[in-house]
Amino acid sequence: MRILFHVDMNSFFASVELSFRPELRGKPVAVAGSVEDRRGIIVTSTYEARAKGVKTAMPVWQAKKMCPELILLKSNFDRYRTASRNMFEILRSYTSLVEPVSIDEGYMDVTQYHGQVHPYALAEQIQEHLLRDMNLPCSIGIAPSKFLAKMASDMKKPNGITILRKRELPEKLWPLSIHEMQGIGKKTVSKWEKANILTIGDLAQADPLFIAEKFGSTALKLQKRAQGHDNRPVNPDSIHEFKSIGNSTTLPRDTSNEQKIETILKQLADSVSSRLGKKNVVAYGIQLTIKYHDWKITNKSEKVSDAFHTTDEIYFRAKALFKRAWNNKPIRLLGISTYDLVDKQDAFKQLNLFTQEKDQKDYQIQQAMQTIQDKFGQHALIKGANGYEARRKWIEQRSLRGTSLEKPDQQE
């Protein structure tokens, strides 16, 4: 029998700030990229602020309208990263089997304590340790699998401890709405509901053939987890499985033609963006590699303050690096690599009212392009520079009309 914990820090960024300013405890506090009334968005907020209607990603001006007494603090990501490292060091003082999954949450395998201390008492010790040493609250889920531990940690917040046993699934887990199921994104909830899968119990008890036909083989894994079957180990090394994501290509023939080079850069950027999306990570660094006809290699890189992941963002950064690096000699190979990767949900980009709408539209276009490429292949949208732009405009127009991208023959 395995005993796994999922430790989830409560309102992590806000809690870290309050650990430096304890006089603000119990008050509605939010962390934002910019604290001016008309700039920035809410990164996170305390539960007192949430009770007043303040939500993550809400514009600061709207949050202030919802909660006039809201106390705004500017984000400090160096501080949060330091707190995260210290938090995981505390968890590792209990067991070496700690798997970070984001800046503020991770799994622990504490099976070694079986028969020595009750899991609930051990969870209380960890909570008290984090409060005593770092003044940070957390919720802990206790279960025999990763999925159940994660679901359990969400059941009592803030500062809760929940045990979820397999025999308790029909009572505690299955009545929950399907949108609360870990692994089912917000965008796909409506598809499940249309198939009359309204609760986690509906998924657990559905015909596997029906689930596979409607949602694919990946959905069968979700069904197994809903039934309590999840043998994934706690892997301390999983966070180090990829340090960079990139792609390179050797050209059919050496070239100095800038139009051809730009087309290749766009194809590489699209490939790298797709891989970032599949790993659900974003990057803070980018490197361009050029190998010349004489086999000499030039690398140019830069780190940026705003995380990026879309095709356009990668392409324009790579193109700028290329213009700085290229010596006008024929090129044999081009490569784009991204590094300083973080989980997408941990990344933060400071937006203002002038760029937020554009960023949102670009994100929707990128998601539409990804959907097409997943369905029809990696190069479905890229057949030269002109084709790239034409197809991008086509996607944008269809997105604005709300037209289905999956069945273009049915709607024109």
CB neighbour list of residue 313: distance below 8 Å, 6 or more residues apart: 273
Would you tell me which CATH number, out of the four given (3.30.70.100, 3.40.50.300, 3.30.360.10, 3.30.70.270), belongs to the domain 4-10+79-169?
3.30.70.270
351: pLDDT confidence band, cut at 50, 70 and 90?
Answer: very low
The mean of the pLDDT values for the chain is 84
Whether residue 104 is annotated as binding a ligand: the answer is yes
H runs (alpha helix) in 2-76: 12-20, 47-50, 60-66
Residue 412 has pLDDT above 50, yes or no: no
Would you tell me which CATH number, out of the four given (2.30.250.10, 3.30.70.1230, 3.30.1490.100, 3.10.20.30), belongs to the domain 239-401?
3.30.1490.100
Would you tell me which CATH number, out of the four given (3.40.50.300, 3.40.50.10810, 3.40.1170.60, 3.40.710.10), belongs to the domain 12-76?
3.40.1170.60
pLDDT in tens, 99-137: 998 889 999 999 999 999 999 999 999 999 999 999 999
286: pLDDT confidence band, cut at 50, 70 and 90?
Answer: very high
Closest-CA residue to 13 (of 83, 109, 91): 83
**Domain 178-226 grouped into CATH 1.10.150.20:** yes
**What is the arithmetic mean of pLDDT over 183-209?**
92
The pairing of strands 71-74 and 29-32 is: parallel
Residue 83 has pLDDT above 70, yes or no: yes
- What CA–CA distance (Å, rounded) separates 216 from 188? 13
Q: Which residues are catalytic?
A: 105
**What is the arithmetic mean of pLDDT over 362-387?**
53
Give Rg (Cα) of the chain.
24
pLDDT at 403: 36
CB neighbour list of residue 308: distance below 8 Å, 6 or more residues apart: 282, 283, 284, 286, 314, 317
pLDDT at 354: 40
Under a CB-based contact definition with an 8 Å cutoff, are residues 128 and 139 in contact? no
pLDDT in tens, 300-344: 999 887 789 999 999 999 999 999 999 999 999 999 999 888 877
Residue 59 has pLDDT above 60, yes or no: yes
Residue 289 has pLDDT above 60, yes or no: yes
Name the residue with higher pLDDT: 345 or 373. 345
CA 153 to chain centre: 18
Domain spans, the chain: 4-10+79-169, 12-76, 178-226, 239-401
pLDDT at 278: 84
pLDDT at 241: 53
Whether residue 8 is annotated as binding a ligand: the answer is yes
Residue 235 has pLDDT above 60, yes or no: yes
Name the residue with higher pLDDT: 11 or 352. 11
